[in-house]
Structure 1
Amino acid sequence: MVRIHLRLIIVSALLAALPGQWAAAQNAPLATQGVPAAAQDTPATQSAPDAPMQISWEVRNRFRLFREERDFLLHTESARGRSILESEQALELQSDGRGWARNAVNRLCIDLSGRISEPCTRDNVKESYLTPVDHPITVRLTGQVPVGATCAWSFDDGDGPQQSTFDCAEPINLRARYGRPTVATVDVSSGPEAPQRVSTEIMVRDIFIAGLGDSIASGEGNPDRAVALADEGFCFRSYLGTAGAQYYRPSRAGYKGGRACEAPDSLQVWQRQSALWFNSPCHRSLYSYQTRTALALAVQYPHIAVTYLPLACTGATIPDGLFGTQRARECPPTKSATCQGTVNAQLAELRLAVAAAKKRQPDRNLDLILLSIGANDINFSGLVADVIVDTPTERVLFKRTGVMGSVDDSRAALAHDLPQSFAKLREALKPLVGGDLSRVVYVSYANPTLAAGAPCPGGRAGFDIHPSFNAQPQRLAAVSDYVQSEFLPALKALALCQSGVLCRDPAADRMTFVDAHQAVFADHGFCARAATDPEFDRECFSAKGESFNPDIVTAASQPMLCGRSAGEYRAYLPRARWIRDANDSYFAAMTYPQALPASSQPTDIHDATWGVLSAVYGGAVHPTAEGHAAMADAALPAVASVLQLDVAVPEVTAEPVAPAGTPQQ
């Protein structure tokens, strides 16, 4: 058995005394001036060559949603010296605007229908996703290691030591038992000097994080694999119903059916060329700020693993989505004609997952919840419709069907319905986080209507994908002011139990609130433009709202007035706007929401209803991947603080090996 030195025992006692069961198992990232914490190199790679010898270790592929380490390494390499936003921008350029998630989405421990793979085969090893029993780690000897030195390693997790001898330059790969410490000891031999012994304790902290909420939480607007667009046009009818009331917009690449309005085809055939999502029913995306925050946590802290359970769903409200079932947004592109029309309640799904985990590991707890909710509860989408739908026929139809909302109605819901629902939600979340709601990190929305700190001027620019769309300036200004001066402050008050919001126990009922990203979004609303925007955007998305060919004869073969192929659009390139406009929504996702009520879902794919829905249901007025990365940059410090990840760790022991026969202490 390996001798555990007295100093190591003292270190272990110090670790146990630090706040939280696991907090001291972490190494805080070293400070780097001018570089955000999430962008700094991990301690396992930071040790200077002239530093004292020490054992450095890190968990491999520690974002456990990823099956393959190559997907995690892509982010660790991109994050060096960069914020999450800067990393996202670098990856966008590296992928030529196609996005880093387009391949990773098929290599996850949660499948495209939302089912957890139990077990999940990660890097050729079967693991329980919710309740891992061990973690892969890499151990190295760093610092002033003599050239050519030999290292005699010993790893003891209480079941007897595992011993091996290698050149000290070689890293050691092993699996560390979860829930108990592994004592790592190395005797370093070089020349005639007595061997030097270095010891440390290895203990992986596996952090269980869940994501709840609505379309902002799910990543709406950012399909993991954007829809591929064709050179040719596709015909839509308008609600006027006359023969001349038709218009053409880009078709889907690979679609071989009829593109003219007089040539109907089945929705099933059309959907085979749809965008691909991490979860189509909820438009859940790997680009969401919740996923990016959990991933960045794993990138930054090498001694943890992150088990992440995303449950947020586009369209969710607190009653319908969190507490109750809700309608699905879209179905996966399959050959099956069946479509699951509803999505299970998020709270019910989370309770089942936590119960299943605790059944296998009684000490397994949910460490943190990421949450964004409330916009649908005050009918924000109805406010957007009121702003952008401008033609009389469509406005009458949308008011009659309840699609269009008003600031007055939204204000009433904000004053009465949302506070009542939020109070119920607070009570439902408490048992999931041990009664401490500070472990619920509420990430607020950003005002999507600002550029240069002022409301966007309005107009058809960015919304001319549909003939009836025009961001009417007066209605836009009214909604922008309402969001900024009433809605966002009310959310903060609800989360923090302040400004007249009554909580039973304010100290325990306050959530951790994040809104630092709102200031930077003030320059990046849907109308923001820059000379550095992608070339296609600058040439083909008209600032006057004249992007598309109005001639239905020539538009059938070339719908873009700029004369370029719509397939040149790239959803994932850096842009001044961090909010998708309606043009972006169509070009990135072109969503046909199949789970609508049967009475509202047309069978003809050229129907006027599809023309409207395909322009907005893919994420109009939602953050881009850059926007989500900026939100994750704001959320990450709060999450690390709640989890106490920056608690300093005492140094490892290093001492000469005692000569044979020396009494042990």
Structure 2
Amino acid sequence: MRSGSVPTTAGARGSSAAMTRRVASAAVVTLALAASPAAAADLLWEVENPFRFFKRTSAFDLHERAYKAVRGAAEDPVPGNIVWRTERRLNDPDCRDASSPAACAATAGRNYERSRLGWAAQTLDVNCYDRNARPRRYLVTCDRQYSWGTAKEDTILPDAHTVIVRLAPQHLASAAGDCTWTWRPRRGGAGETVRQSCTVPLVIKRVPFSTQRAASGVAVSVRLPDGRELVDSHIVVEDVLIVAMGDSFASGESNPDRPVVFSAGREMVYDPVNTRDEVATRSMRGAPTYGIASAPEVVNPKSLPKRLMEDEERGLIYRPSSAEFQAAFDKRGAQWLSADCHRSQYGYPFRVGLQLALENRHRAVSFVSLACSGSDTAEGLFGPREPREQTTGPNAQRVVVPQLDQLTELICRPGAPRSRDAVYTLPTYAHGSTSIGQQTFTKFWCPPESRKRPIDLVLLSIGGNDVGFGALVAYGITESAADLAPIAGLVGRQLRFEPHVARVYLDVLDRRMKALKDALVDGFGVDPATVLHNAYEPVQFDETGRVCGMQPTVGLDVHPKLHYGSARVQEVSDFTRDLQARMECMADARRRPGCPRLATGSGTGFRFVAEHTAMFARRGVCARDPQRTLADQINMMMPRLSQRIDEFQPYSPAAALPYGKRWRLIHSPNDAFLTANTHREGISPFDILQPAYAALYSGAFHPTAEGHAIVADAVVRHARDILDRRAIVDVR
């Protein structure tokens, strides 16, 4: 029997078929509960700290308080935008007027600074991921803290959960005195009897869990002061394993767990001549001077916001070319859950897992996200890739292990044989070249009996980098490849090419997707129907639904070479439309007419999720709030220190609201510079190339935290459906 009530989700789904499934599920559960010695409402129970990624209950409580504040009445359907509501409750800055950064700072409340930095900063170091290890990794066993103490738990497969049981209100009102609680494991073995005040909930420290339901759970009885006995023989926790894989649109790129904090009074002048540093000055030789057409004459375009560093806090000024300055600068960089992948807790998979735990407190969620910025199917999933940052120095990480290999290490039991080797052949190419080759990848899977458990749900975002997403974006915002040539030299690849090159890659994407489907089935026994493959959010539209370009430099004035070309953006937009159509065909060729013959045949069987894309159609990277267009456009400018009044205009970067509510749901290069501020390692921080690098490699053209919440609302509807279908099968 499935334990507990089924969450009401009518508000989040609209189809009569979905309603029928929910009613059927509820009916099965209700009938099963009716056979138990106590009515379902006599005893109430919930899992303590059910999102198993968090070490501390306080981390989950942060989200639960926000969820309850915006949930509405418990008997009402869960709102369809519940994740978005929770996100806004958590990340709205503490100020009376949040219409602009300056207005918010002027009306700041007591918790302004903490709220401005976002909720993830509070849980960055209280989770089961070791971001200080090299390579960074999920802990095999995690010390999770509860109200009663600490338990060492396997991150993938727990052997028990902590459960809190209390009397229902109708019994508690008449239960004055002590209650005698008794519980025992359903599979047999020793239990426990506790006598305590009836007002005090019973904490069962370790409720057994097994992938075999019959071996899970406890039976609980309580004798009230008047002699009545209430019993629930089926307190069984539903633990689901969710795995996220893919690229930057799943990793949370552009939304660090702790964003950069900027100085209110000091600027960073990107002119290495000032440092008298041999390394820094190399890029200035023969470099032209430049200006920014949209900026006032009194603004130096090379002057940009500077991180708030310890020298300023101590009333000092470190010599720019000194090791002391570099160390202080690095120390105040953005903080990520996993800096090698620019993975953060704002990524939509985390929010899906959290929501599933929040709305059903009889459920625990075991969660792993391996999504990594820059990944494509070949370089990232099957093969290794370069880390996003921190590749030099004593703490460097040279390579990111393929996501499929990372998952194998987590899923396979320690010491399990890896005899199920398989070879996968993928089409490969050098980005920018239309010459297609192939590469084989050999994987060593552990046999099914050596896997710790099945994977219940896979959240997947992949395909964009396979066709050159970053290069297409660069094509839309620059006149020629020469504009980004110095940056291309730094990263060792072509950063800009036209859509006709991407179409060559699109023509072989189906072969890569088939290999991925086969690997998930071969290596982990994943049912393709439990894979939710996300469509990419459109990034290219303004508030009217037109492609960016009417305001060529809005959100781009961090660097003078960046501006939208309407015709080029339209070309990219046409391609991304075709990309989504092809991805739909690859998932299910019956989904739309006119699908070409593909390597995936009738489809991968993945569920392609695209409902959320409509929410971004007028809220892209260049979109301004239609109710306050001019004011919003001004707030989208890059703050610079005015030489005339010696103040930052149009607002202080120290007042930036990286996670505040905005009309646009996609980060611009200006936003990215002010949020993650990623600088290229190995060259002077003052190098003239750094502003462009910091703008483009900090997550520009990726969803905001609010955008990820909107995506999560769409994905969680499908996740509920998959888990509810499985629950019906379990009950029967």
Q: Report TM bin, short chain.
A: 0.7 to 0.9
Tell me the amino acid that sits aligned with residue 578 of structure 1.
L
Aligned twin of 1:178: 209
- Asked whether 1:125 is paired with 2:159, we answer no
Q: How big is each residue's C-alpha offset from its partner over 1:142-179, in whole Å with a ceiling of 9 and x where there is no partner?
A: 15215135533221111033222334332111120112
- Over 3 Å counting, the alpha-carbon distance change for 1:476 and 1:239 in structure 2 is farther
- Over 3 Å counting, the alpha-carbon distance change for 1:439 and 1:501 in structure 2 is farther
Provide the secondary structure at the position in 2 that maps to 1:574: coil
- Over 3 Å counting, the alpha-carbon distance change for 1:324 and 1:290 in structure 2 is same
- Over 3 Å counting, the alpha-carbon distance change for 1:300 and 1:533 in structure 2 is farther
Provide the secondary structure at the position in 1 that maps to 2:130: coil
1-structure distance, mates of 2:719, 2:12: 21
- Asked whether 1:328 is paired with 2:387, we answer yes
- Is the CA contact 1:139–1:171 (under 8 Å) kept in the aligned structure 2? yes
Q: Structure 1 length as normaliser, TM-score?
A: 0.81
Provide the secondary structure at the position in 2 that maps to 1:342: coil
- Is the CA contact 1:52–1:143 (under 8 Å) kept in the aligned structure 2? no
Tell me the amino acid that sits aligned with residue 511 of structure 2.
Q
Aligned twin of 1:355: 412
- Is the CA contact 1:574–1:626 (under 8 Å) kept in the aligned structure 2? yes
Compare 288-297 and 200-209 and name the one that shifted more. 200-209
Report the Cα offset of residue 548 of structure 1. 4.0
Aligned twin of 1:301: 360
Aligned twin of 1:10: none
- Asked whether 1:370 is paired with 2:370, we answer no
Aligned twin of 2:622: 527
Report the Cα offset of residue 472 of structure 1. 1.5
Report the Cα offset of residue 636 of structure 1. 0.6
Aligned twin of 2:184: 156
Residue in structure 2 matching 1:285, options 337, 344, 349: 344
- Is the CA contact 1:534–1:574 (under 8 Å) kept in the aligned structure 2? no
Compare 55-64 and 580-589 and name the one that shifted more. 55-64
- Is the CA contact 1:53–1:144 (under 8 Å) kept in the aligned structure 2? no
- Over 3 Å counting, the alpha-carbon distance change for 1:72 and 1:165 in structure 2 is same
- Is the CA contact 2:179–2:225 (under 8 Å) kept in the aligned structure 1? no
Report the Cα offset of residue 119 of structure 1. 3.0
- Is the CA contact 2:144–2:153 (under 8 Å) kept in the aligned structure 1? yes
Provide the secondary structure at the position in 1 that maps to 2:555: coil
Please show how residues 187-226 of structure 1 align to structure 2 within 5 Å.
Answer: 187-189=222-224, 191=226, 195-226=228-259
Q: Gaps (5+ residues) in structure 1?
A: 1-14, 16-23, 38-42, 44-50, 595-600, 652-665
- Asked whether 1:384 is paired with 2:444, we answer no
- Is the CA contact 2:12–2:717 (under 8 Å) kept in the aligned structure 1? no
Aligned twin of 1:86: 85
- Is the CA contact 2:304–2:639 (under 8 Å) kept in the aligned structure 1? no
Aligned twin of 1:566: 653
Report the Cα offset of residue 547 of structure 1. 5.4
Compare 125-134 and 58-67 and name the one that shifted more. 125-134
Tell me the amino acid that sits aligned with residue 92 of structure 2.
L
Q: How big is each residue's C-alpha offset from its partner over 1:553-575, in whole Å with a ceiling of 9 and x where there is no partner?
A: 679x65x432x321110101011
Aligned twin of 2:174: 147
- Over 3 Å counting, the alpha-carbon distance change for 1:440 and 1:236 in structure 2 is same
Aligned twin of 1:409: 501
Compare 495-504 and 616-625 and name the one that shifted more. 495-504
Report the Cα offset of residue 425 of structure 1. 1.1
Report the Cα offset of residue 433 of structure 1. 4.4
Please show how residues 246-645 of structure 1 align to structure 2 within 5 Å.
Answer: 247-254=302-309, 256=311, 263-265=320-322, 267-331=326-390, 337-356=394-413, 364-390=453-479, 393-394=482-483, 402-416=494-508, 418-450=509-541, 451-456=543-548, 457-484=550-577, 486-498=578-590, 499-502=595-598, 506=602, 509-530=604-625, 539-542=634-637, 548=640, 558=647, 560-562=648-650, 564-594=651-681, 603-644=683-724
2-structure distance, mates of 1:314, 1:357: 29
Tell me the amino acid that sits aligned with residue 699 of structure 2.
G
Report the Cα offset of residue 199 of structure 1. 2.4
Compare 438-447 and 151-160 and name the one that shifted more. 151-160
Report the Cα offset of residue 445 of structure 1. 0.8
Q: How big is each residue's C-alpha offset from its partner over 1:262-308, in whole Å with a ceiling of 9 and x where there is no partner?
A: 95455555322210000001000000001111111111121121111
Provide the secondary structure at the position in 1 that maps to 2:92: helix
**Larger relative contact order (C-alpha < 8 A, sep ≥ 6)?**
1
Provide the secondary structure at the position in 2 that maps to 1:326: coil
Tell me the amino acid that sits aligned with residue 131 of structure 2.
L
- Over 3 Å counting, the alpha-carbon distance change for 1:160 and 1:501 in structure 2 is farther
Aligned twin of 1:18: none
- Over 3 Å counting, the alpha-carbon distance change for 1:88 and 1:35 in structure 2 is farther
C-alpha RMSD of matched pairs (Å): 3.4
- Is the CA contact 1:26–1:648 (under 8 Å) kept in the aligned structure 2? no
Residue in structure 1 matching 2:269, options 215, 223, 235: 235
2-structure distance, mates of 1:244, 1:518: 41
2-structure distance, mates of 1:280, 1:474: 35
Please show how residues 639-654 of structure 1 align to structure 2 within 5 Å.
Answer: 639-644=719-724, 647=727
Tell me the amino acid that sits aligned with residue 223 of structure 1.
P
- Is the CA contact 1:53–1:143 (under 8 Å) kept in the aligned structure 2? no
2-structure distance, mates of 1:264, 1:474: 43
Provide the secondary structure at the position in 1 that maps to 2:413: helix
Report the Cα offset of residue 427 of structure 1. 1.0
Report the Cα offset of residue 370 of structure 1. 1.0
Aligned twin of 2:46: 58
2-structure distance, mates of 1:646, 1:636: 15
1-structure distance, mates of 2:169, 2:40: 5
Report the Cα offset of residue 501 of structure 1. 4.8
Provide the secondary structure at the position in 1 that maps to 2:302: strand
Tell me the amino acid that sits aligned with residue 184 of structure 2.
D
- Over 3 Å counting, the alpha-carbon distance change for 1:539 and 1:250 in structure 2 is same
Aligned twin of 1:71: 59
2-structure distance, mates of 1:72, 1:116: 18
Provide the secondary structure at the position in 2 that maps to 1:144: helix
Q: Structure 2 length as normaliser, TM-score?
A: 0.74
Q: How big is each residue's C-alpha offset from its partner over 1:38-91, in whole Å with a ceiling of 9 and x where there is no partner?
A: xxxxx9xxxxxxx98522211110111111111101111211216101110111
2-structure distance, mates of 1:526, 1:581: 5
Provide the secondary structure at the position in 1 that maps to 2:203: strand
- Over 3 Å counting, the alpha-carbon distance change for 1:429 and 1:501 in structure 2 is farther
Report the Cα offset of residue 641 of structure 1. 1.7
- Is the CA contact 2:658–2:674 (under 8 Å) kept in the aligned structure 1? yes
Report the Cα offset of residue 483 of structure 1. 1.2
Q: How big is each residue's C-alpha offset from its partner over 1:312-371, in whole Å with a ceiling of 9 and x where there is no partner?
A: 110001110101110111129x9x544213111111111111113796986522222111
Q: Gaps (5+ residues) in structure 2?
A: 19-25, 27-38, 72-78, 94-113, 272-282, 291-300, 417-448
Matched residue pairs, number? 594
- Over 3 Å counting, the alpha-carbon distance change for 1:203 and 1:228 in structure 2 is same
Report the Cα offset of residue 506 of structure 1. 4.6
2-structure distance, mates of 1:172, 1:432: 41
Provide the secondary structure at the position in 1 that maps to 2:724: coil
- Over 3 Å counting, the alpha-carbon distance change for 1:361 and 1:79 in structure 2 is farther
